[in-house]
A and B are shown apart, each in its own frame.
Chain A
Amino acid sequence: MLKNNQGFSLVELLAVIVITSFILVPLMTAFTNNITIYDRLEKRRSTVGIIDVMVNSIDRLNFGSVKAELDLSTNHFYILDGSNCNTIFTDPDDQIFCTNYFNLTYNNFSIQEGEIEIYFFDWNISDAEMTILLDRGFHPAIEQELSTIVTNDFTESNSVMRFVILGHYDTGNNDVVAIGGVMASD
């Protein structure tokens, strides 16, 4: 006999519901995770698109103004993040360009103000300066870029700067895209 003659008890019915829930919950969780991963991938792809455009047009930023701020900095780096466009650039053309530069949209995705930063560094950095920089505790992506800088043969250059563009596309998960390069004066 599979069952007794009393029919199904309440406990048995509840057991069926609980077992069904055990099947449904992982299914729902997997599906929700799938949507979340897809959303993060889309944000990442758009962020790469935005930063790619920024890297390819960075030379339109006024080199002299940025270099002057970098030279003034005692920390040996300078951060441009869109909020200081009107502070460091005096030419209205440069200011408008900078503002547009930090407010790009790619496939409907925009990076919020302050979530995208350009770190500028000198072409070469002395050992003492490098120690100060690394002590600051940059994002690992920035530190990786710093590790490529030659400090032994210290030669300063006034016509080139290194930069890393860091875009935070999902602050909650600390997801970033970082692309580095070299900016040259005209």
Chain B
Amino acid sequence: MIKIKNAQGVTLFELIVSILVGSIVLVTLTSTLAMITSANTRLQIDAKMENESYLISETLKYNLLTQLDKTFTVTQDDPDAFILVIDYCEIVGGETKICTWEDPNDLYEPHTLMLEYNVGPDNSAILSFDGEAMHSDRMYLLNDSEVSFQRNNVLDLNTPYQYGLLTLHLNMQIVLSDGSVLNPKEYITQIIFSNY
């Protein structure tokens, strides 16, 4: 039989030192593991919120930056309701309609899109583009979010602009599968819309 200790057993001093050293090793390992797990969760939450904000910005850019003959008109600008109307023309192959605001000899198809921000009765906010919500179901947009559009730091309601700076202050919160919510985080993104 292999003997691990001698017949005398361990002394009290040896036992205490062993426990002490074991504790140091265990506490270090456990705290490191806990820290990595916690930070990893935080990173995943941040990544999800950042992706959500990124997706909103990219959707707007993809749909608007390359369109022709754009005009941007803010028709409502209140803390709980904002509406930006975007009119643009799309060149079409065949004869369809003629944009009234463009050279009548060219064939264009006029379009109107709307970017809307509204605070609902349940105090949650919705940002929608072309009638569809821009954020996923698992993301709350808090009612202190803010959307603004200005031409050189000035806004005149119902005035069509050729360019302007859209600023999104999106205060978002993740909803977990059990219905609980995590701490909100604000994302600020600015996009210049220009017809030039």
CA distance A108 to B120 in the complex (A): 26
List the one stretch of B20-28, B79-87, B130-138, B176-184 in contact with chain A: B20-28
Band of interface residues on A: 35 or more
Say yes or no for A45: interface residue by CB 8 A criterion: yes
How many whole Å from B96's CB to the nearest CB in chain A?
26
- Is A45 a contact of B21 with CB atoms below 8 Å? no
Q: Are B39 and A35 in contact (CB under 8 A)?
A: yes
* Segment 28-63 of B: residues with Cβ below 8 Å from A: 28-29, 32, 36, 39, 43, 47, 50, 53-54, 57-58, 61
The 8 A CB mask of B135-175 against A (1 = contact, 0 = none) is: 00000000000000000110000000001010000000000
B187 and A107 contact, CB distance less than 8 A: yes
Given the complex of chains A and B, what is the CA–CA distance between A119 and B165 in angstroms? 23
Query: Does chain A have a CB within 8 A of B65?
Result: yes
Q: Which residues does chain B contribute within 8 Å of A97, judged by CB atoms?
A: 152, 163
B residues at A contact (CB < 8 Å): 2-6, 8, 10-11, 14, 17-18, 21, 24-25, 28-29, 32, 36, 39, 43, 47, 50, 53-54, 57-58, 61, 65-66, 152-153, 163, 165, 186-194, 196
- Contacts A20-B28, A49-B57, A100-B165 given; does A59 touch B196 at CB 8 Å: yes
Contacts of B191 in A (CB 8 A): 53, 104
Contact residues in B for A54 (Cβ distance below 8 Å): 192
CA distance A110 to B10 in the complex (A): 63
Q: Is the CB of A45 within 8 A of B194?
A: no
Cβ of B10: which chain A residues have Cβ within 8 Å of it?
7
Contact present for B4 and A2 (CB under 8 Å): yes
Q: Is B32 touching A5 in the complex (CB atoms < 8 A)? A: no
Q: Is the CB of B163 within 8 A of A60?
A: yes
**Which chain A positions have C-beta within 8 A of B194?**
56-57, 59-60
Docked complex Cα distance between A8 and B20 (Å): 13
> Considering only CB atoms, which chain B residue lies closest to A38 in the complex?
B43
Q: Give the complex CA separation of A102 and B141 in angstroms.
A: 28
CA distance A28 to B18 in the complex (A): 26
| B148 → chain A closest CB, angstroms | 12
11 A-B residue pairs with CB within 8 Å: A1-B2, A3-B5, A5-B8, A20-B25, A24-B32, A28-B32, A38-B47, A45-B54, A57-B194, A106-B189, A108-B188
Q: Within the assembled complex, what's the spacing in Å between the Cα atoms of A17 and B17?
A: 13
B66 proximity list for chain A (CB < 8 A): 56
Q: Does A163 sit at the interface, judged by CB under 8 A?
A: no
